[in-house]
Amino acid sequence: MATGAFAERGADLELVGISKRFPGFTAIESLDLTIPAGSFFALLGPSGCGKTTTLRLVAGLEEPTTGRILIGGKDVTNLKPYQRPVNTVFQSYALFPHMTVLENVAFGLRRRRLADPVGKAHEALRLVELDHLAARKPQQLSGGQQQRVALARALVNRPALLLLDEPLGALDLKLRRQMQLELKTIQEEVGLTFLHVTHDQEEAMTMADTIAVMNKGRIEQMGAPEQLYELPKTAFVANFLGQSNLFTGTVVGTTSTAISVDIAGQKIVVPVGRSHRHSGDVTVGVRPEKLSLHREAPASDPARNVIGPAHVIDVSFSGVSTQYLIAHPTLGTIVVFAQNMAFGPVAHVGEEVWVSWDIEHGFGLADDPADSPRFAADTDTKNIAAQRHAALITELGEA
């Protein structure tokens, strides 16, 4: 497969002090971002976080209120979309229904009067493994095949930067997962810089080298997928990128390796290196799949945190795993994911259980628990309130 021609023009992207204000609201605020050449970068976040606006700014479809956009070191802030070395693949593939697949891919080359449009179109179709369908019309293709034609049409122009705007959103789950792997393979082969905008966390983690999680026009946290998942910095990241059990309490002990947090009378230990705050009130957490479920109190182990007794209030089978909701009298609801290694649930609704996890699997957030708006949309807010209520009752009882 000849991919050298596609790899020649990959370039880095730099956003410097970018802000975008619309009448009545600010979509992006003071955004600084550098994406290295040849990387697969994902902007991940909920609707309204500013990720699509960022992509449209890079494409030239919107003008920034402040800041500069550089591609390959060249300032393109004031250039028209067609003057930028950028192509975009949208969720709606926008293929011309009256043209063949080959004509769709060659269309842009013909308009720009470039040499050998047919040969280059065939090369792009071979890259996405659809050259054998070059004579078909778009309506004769599956959704996944149409998506690949749209990708070939973007790649054939040799852009330095390829923008992907929720490109897999119209596909069914199985096909979407297949295309995730194919897109990653194509990106590695052509060597271009891919900027992928999505709200799908699994999609971002499957394909991207680096993920930036956006929230309200700012980047909350950026890093490799594993780093963001294992060590989230904020409650927003911890709950948007997967699920988390979050507990807020006060640091009551510190060693060179760990901090001990008192949460409504329950001690939870977190490694120093996995916590962003080491004193005062802190929020600590653990992922549901890191928890073990016990029907009897486990033996004391300094390497593990143990919570219990508690009661199972819901059991949900999801195929690969079963989700258990555990109600603790002071910590609130705890979520446990248990892999289905045997037939039937580990515990049933109403049963008394304990949960435990390796201390090394916990994490501590950078959030200030006193900064209540940070937790406004967090499902664990009621747990935090319950913990503070219980602590107040204890304090009054001691008085």
Q: What is the pLDDT of residue 257?
A: 95
Neighbouring-strand partners of residue 68: 16
Q: Which regions of the chain carry the CATH code 3.40.50.300?
A: 4-229
- Look up the pTM and report it: 0.80
Is residue 335 within 8 Å of residue 230, measured between CB atoms? no
Sheet holding 321-328, edge to edge: 292-294, 352-358, 304-317, 321-328, 332-339
* CATH pick for 243-398 out of 2.40.50.140, 2.60.120.10, 3.30.70.141, 1.20.272.10: 2.40.50.140
pLDDT of residue 370: 72
Neighbours of 272 (CB within 10 A): 13
How many helices (H) and strands (E) the chain has is answered by 10, 20
Q: What is the pLDDT of residue 108?
A: 83
Residue 370, CB-side half-sphere exposure with 13 Å CA sphere: 3
pLDDT of residue 294: 93
Question: Domain 4-229 falls in which CATH fold?
Answer: Rossmann fold (3.40.50)
Given a contact cutoff of 8 angstroms between Cβ atoms, the answer to whether 146 and 93 are in contact is yes
The CA angle 231-235-238, to the nearest 5 degrees, is 45
Q: Which residues contact 178 (CB under 8 A, 6 or more apart)?
A: 144
What per-residue confidence (pLDDT) applies to 229? 95
Residue stretches of the chain with pLDDT short of 70: 1-9, 170, 342, 344, 371-399
Q: How many CA atoms lie within 13 A of 23 on its CB side?
A: 0
Domain ranges in the chain with CATH number 2.40.50.140? 243-398
CA dist., res. 241 & res. 202, Å (int): 8
